[in-house]
């Protein structure tokens, strides 16, 4: 099968970007990625987006953005898989190039969450749950996360404060990332005093909904531009898996099957064990997501995920750095763009261009994004060649 | 590259299906397709859907439907490209199997348009236009089609009645299709008297928004079930192209570039000329779409598309049968499912299983669906092996 390489990456700042439209935001990321790739022109664009039809009255983003970006005549469409939409678009771009059907695929993630009132955003995000059985009863994503966290604390006898290490680490890394939404540090005292959103989830357990766009150009080796940065980076593992959408249908809500399956598949394809990666950009939409992802991916025993924050394992100088540019929690969570931000950040790490966020000597990265409470999991392995 | 074969197809009736939920409708089509394929289990499912987040409060259909269909752990996501969503999902399934990343891909199209009041449906469908510049001013898809038809009539000096042959043909074919929404015939007199929707588009120029689901299983040759129907059918051409989304940005609104490009690409891949196909399932959302599609695809000179209805070319016994099971106009237009219905219908034709709708000796079919006024065009060529 054709090997798939990264030809260039681009990203916009993440935050409440009220002065720029969805389409302009998308084009900023595309222009940056194409510039990074020596002007390479894609023949396809796959867009990761979650909620533009609901929040921006705009579907059909493939055609809209291809047009606005001057990419006349190319193939373009949107991938949607809840919060995993960006990862799903990356996977589609990977398959398109691997199949030989597409020479150069532009994978774009774009989302504008903050133009609307919060209640509308919460309602929109809730469409990614099982609407007929969950959100219609008030079981929103944050309420789901609360159930998961309470169950975790009960089953493993873990105190709430044990989760604080995750947002604290994310904010340390975000503070060094000029594009991040938040640059402030938080203390364990602040974490413990933070207001409750959906018991026991507090404000610092939940990633902020944000606006942002990120783009990655994928191509095969012989089409890489002369300007391509060395060392080359390729996608060595790509996979997607689903679990039951509704939490109540799962035999064990603390076992994240989709994460486990997608990590197994991506690692098998890459010919590695999870422990062989130098960093892990995971989906820290909630602190409890981080713990459960680390466990299901095979980095911690069940019930022990939080210990990785306490002992420094997840810091930039630890054995398994996570959220290296701030993660969803501090870089911000721009919905369908998040999975593409993860890819951009992994590439910067592998090129040694991560500045103050650099993981020393990073050769191989795992990135993973989730739709719902790991109802969908998309995992990729990127590595220096 | 790996050849991609059809292992089975399934479809539900099309119409106002108020007594069945979105998820149940989807599962009906999946069960039928899997039964047709000897029980073959897919390892991926790609869903063509246009507006479930807006009309059913439900995003994340990949996970929801995989769960409900008992397809635990598989890869699943939604493709959205306006009215071309079903074709886009088919293209993704094709690339996934061709790349070797996926063994058997289930391509599902599902849509429920009729559970909501018409005004909400019209508002939802309008999100597939350029919302900031078109629908916000009232330029809905039907109004766009009116502009196109008026311009066409003026430029080529074609009377409105010339378009009547398209819906008349569609209703003849729909009347013989037990799954179609409409089984009545219409006369040219009825066509000429039909009420106006958006001048000069009348009621019989516009396809009805409908509910429905259709599914196709794609796999490579060695994985075809023993029960696979002979002759085998493969996808020999697959392509997608985009045009400028907003009509006012196009240099010539009567030249449908995306249709032309996608037909050229699909035919080049299949090693054929457009004239080599035995039938053409096109996107007759409006009569004017039919005329412009026939012209841009190379079947008629510009301004001459309507003549193909008058001289019988498009009938089941003509040189280029179109809308052979009723098309969008009489089978009904279930949004993101439409492109998958086209694939199912083409496969029935190539297997000689089309009953009263059979095109005699059909060996090769072209199917095409559009998002917006050919802002997106997806074209596939299917052929008997």
- Measured between beta carbons, which residues in chain B are less than 8 angstroms from residue A76? 81, 240, 242, 376
pLDDT at site A141: 95
Question: Which are the contacts of B271, defined by CB distance < 8 A and separation ≥ 6?
Answer: B236
Question: Which are the contacts of B359, defined by CB distance < 8 A and separation ≥ 6?
Answer: B278, B279, B316, B321, B324, B349
CA distance A125 to chain B (A): 9
Distance CA B329, CA A41 (A): 38
pLDDT at site A116: 84
Best of B63, B73, B107, B369 to disrupt the A interface by mutation (most A CBs within 10 Å)?
B63
Distance CA B17, CA B334 (A): 11
CA distance B362 to chain A (A): 27
pLDDT at site A229: 73
pLDDT at site B117: 79
- Measured between beta carbons, which residues in chain A are less than 8 angstroms from residue B130? 64
**Does A257 contact B130 at a Cβ distance shorter than 8 Å?**
no
pLDDT at site A118: 77
Q: Which of B249, B243, B298, B254 is nearest to B148 (CA)?
A: B254
Average of per-residue pLDDT across A55-68:
96
Check if A218 contacts B (Cβ < 8 Å).
Answer: no
Q: Tell me, what DSSP letter sits at residue B111?
A: E
CA distance A58 to chain B (A): 5
- Measured between beta carbons, which residues in chain B are less than 8 angstroms from residue A376? 60, 62-63, 76-77
Measured in degrees and rounded to the nearest 5, phi and psi for residue B165 equal -60, -25
Which of A62, A75, A242 comes nearest B73 by C-beta? A242
Q: Which of residues 243-272 of A touch B (CB under 8 A)?
A: 243-246, 249, 257-258, 261
Quickly count: other Cβ atoms within 10 Å of residue A230's Cβ: 8
pLDDT at site B38: 94
- Whole-angstrom CA distances from B64 to A208, A285, B102, B117 are 25, 20, 20, 25
Average of per-residue pLDDT across A273-290:
98
Helix axes B141-156, B287-296, angle to 10 degrees: 60
CA distance B36 to chain A (A): 24
Q: Quick one: closest CA in A to B50, which residue?
A: A59
Question: Which are the contacts of B354, defined by CB distance < 8 A and separation ≥ 6?
Answer: B324, B325, B345, B348, B362
- Residue that has been written with the tokens 């000689």 in this structure: B352
B380 pLDDT higher than 90:
yes
Q: Confirm if A110 and A236 have CB atoms less than 8 A apart.
A: no
Question: For residue B116, what pLDDT band results from cuts at 50, 70 and 90?
Answer: confident
- Measured between beta carbons, which residues in chain B are less than 8 angstroms from residue A92? 77, 92, 95
CA distance A160 to chain B (A): 30
**Does A75 contact B240 at a Cβ distance shorter than 8 Å?**
yes
Which of B23, B62, B130 comes nearest A376 by C-beta? B62
Residues A140-198 have pLDDT tens digits of 999 999 999 999 999 999 999 999 999 999 999 999 999 999 999 999 999 999 999 99
Which of B63, B85, B102 comes nearest A242 by C-beta? B63
What are chain A's domains? 4-117+210-223 (3.40.47.10), 137-206+233-384 (3.40.47.10)
Q: Which of residues 272-331 of B touch A (CB under 8 A)?
A: none
Read out DSSP for B256-299? -HHHHHHHHHHHHHHT--GGG-SEEE---SBHHHHHHHHHHTTS
**Does A376 contact B63 at a Cβ distance shorter than 8 Å?**
yes
Check if B197 contacts A (Cβ < 8 Å).
Answer: no
Q: Quick one: closest CA in B to A250, which residue?
A: B67
Q: Quick one: closest CA in A to B130, which residue?
A: A64
A364 has which bridge partners? A383
Question: For residue B153, what pLDDT band results from cuts at 50, 70 and 90?
Answer: very high
**Does B59 contact A75 at a Cβ distance shorter than 8 Å?**
no
Q: Quick one: closest CA in A to B73, which residue?
A: A242
CB pairs under 8 A between A and B: 224
**Does A63 contact B372 at a Cβ distance shorter than 8 Å?**
yes
Question: For residue B120, what pLDDT band results from cuts at 50, 70 and 90?
Answer: confident
Distance CA B336, CA A139 (A): 28
Tokens of B66: 């995989």
Residue A356 burial (C-beta neighbours within 10 Å; 0-12, 13-18, 19+): exposed
Average of per-residue pLDDT across B168-182:
98
Question: For residue A257, what pLDDT band results from cuts at 50, 70 and 90?
Answer: very high
Residues B190-203 have pLDDT tens digits of 999 999 999 999 99
- Whole-angstrom CA distances from A319 to A213, A360, B39, B70 are 30, 11, 46, 39
- Measured between beta carbons, which residues in chain A are less than 8 angstroms from residue B67? 242-246, 249, 375
Best of A70, A74, A75, A369 to disrupt the B interface by mutation (most B CBs within 10 Å)?
A75
Q: Confirm if A46 and A378 have CB atoms less than 8 A apart.
A: no
Read out DSSP for A110-150? EE--TTS-HHHHHHHHGGGS-TTTTGGGT--HHHHHHHHHH
Which of B54, B79, B95 comes nearest A99 by C-beta? B95
Check if A210 contacts B (Cβ < 8 Å).
Answer: no
pLDDT at site A327: 98
B229 pLDDT higher than 90:
no
A265 pLDDT higher than 90:
yes
Average of per-residue pLDDT across A361-385:
97
**Does A80 contact B76 at a Cβ distance shorter than 8 Å?**
no
Q: Which of residues 156-195 of B touch A (CB under 8 A)?
A: none
Distance CA B48, CA B213 (A): 10
Evaluate the CA torsion angle A341, A346, A349, A353 in order and state its sign: negative
Average of per-residue pLDDT across B43-68:
96
Check if A242 contacts B (Cβ < 8 Å).
Answer: yes
pLDDT at site A119: 82
Residue A352 burial (C-beta neighbours within 10 Å; 0-12, 13-18, 19+): middle
Distance CA A6, CA B143 (A): 43
**Does B77 contact A79 at a Cβ distance shorter than 8 Å?**
yes
**Does A376 contact B246 at a Cβ distance shorter than 8 Å?**
no
Q: Quick one: closest CA in B to A43, which residue?
A: B241
pLDDT at site A210: 97
Which of B67, B102, B128 comes nearest A60 by C-beta? B128
Distance CA A74, CA A34 (A): 15
Beta strands in A230-349 (DSSP E): 233-242, 279-281
Q: Quick one: closest CA in A to B22, which residue?
A: A132
Percent of the residues in chain A that have a pLDDT greater than 90, as a whole number: 96
Best of A59, A296, A335 to disrupt the B interface by mutation (most B CBs within 10 Å)?
A59
């Amino acid at each position: 099968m054709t090997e798939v390489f990264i030809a260039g990456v681009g990203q916009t700042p993440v935050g409440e970007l009220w002065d720029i439209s969805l389409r302009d935001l998308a084009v900023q990321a595309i222009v940056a990625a194409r510039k990074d790739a020596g002007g390479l022109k894609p023949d396809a664009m796959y867009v990761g987006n979650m909620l533009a039809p609901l929040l921006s009255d705009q579907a059909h983003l493939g055609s809209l953005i291809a047009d606005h970006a001057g990419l006349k005549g190319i193939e373009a469409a949107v991938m949607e898989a809840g919060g995993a939409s960006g990862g799903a678009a990356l996977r589609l771009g990977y398959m398109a190039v691997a199949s030989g059907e597409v020479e150069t695929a532009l994978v774009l993630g774009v989302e504008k969450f903050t133009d609307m009132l919060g209640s509308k955003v919460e309602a929109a995000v809730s469409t990614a749950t099982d609407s007929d059985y969950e959100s219609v009863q008030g079981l929103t994503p944050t309420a789901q996360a609360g159930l998961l966290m309470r169950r975790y604390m009960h089953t493993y006898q873990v105190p709430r404060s044990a989760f604080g290490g995750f947002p604290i680490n994310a904010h340390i890394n975000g503070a060094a990332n000029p594009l991040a939404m938040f640059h402030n540090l938080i203390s364990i005292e602040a974490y413990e005093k933070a207001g409750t959103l959906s018991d026991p989830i507090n404000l610092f357990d939940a990633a902020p909904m944000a606006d942002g766009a990120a783009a990655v150009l994928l191509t095969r080796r012989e089409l890489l531009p002369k300007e391509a940065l060395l060392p080359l980076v390729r996608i060595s593992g790509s996979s997607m898996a689903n679990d039951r959408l509704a939490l109540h249908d799962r035999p064990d809500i603390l076992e994240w099957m989709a994460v486990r399956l997608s990590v197994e598949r991506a690692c098998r394809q890459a010919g590695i064990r999870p422990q062989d990666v130098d960093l892990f950009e995971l989906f820290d939409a909630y602190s409890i997501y981080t713990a459960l992802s680390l466990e299901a991916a095979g980095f911690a025993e069940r019930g022990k995920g939080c210990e990785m924050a306490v002992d420094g394992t997840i810091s930039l100088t630890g054995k398994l750095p996570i959220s290296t540019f701030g993660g969803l929690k501090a870089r911000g969570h721009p919905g369908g763009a998040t999975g593409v931000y993860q890819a951009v950040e992994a590439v910067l790490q592998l090129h040694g261009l991560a500045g103050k966020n650099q993981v020393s000597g990073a050769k191989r990265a795992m990135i993973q994004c989730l739709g719902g409470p790991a109802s969908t999991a998309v995992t990729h392995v990127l590595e220096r060649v």
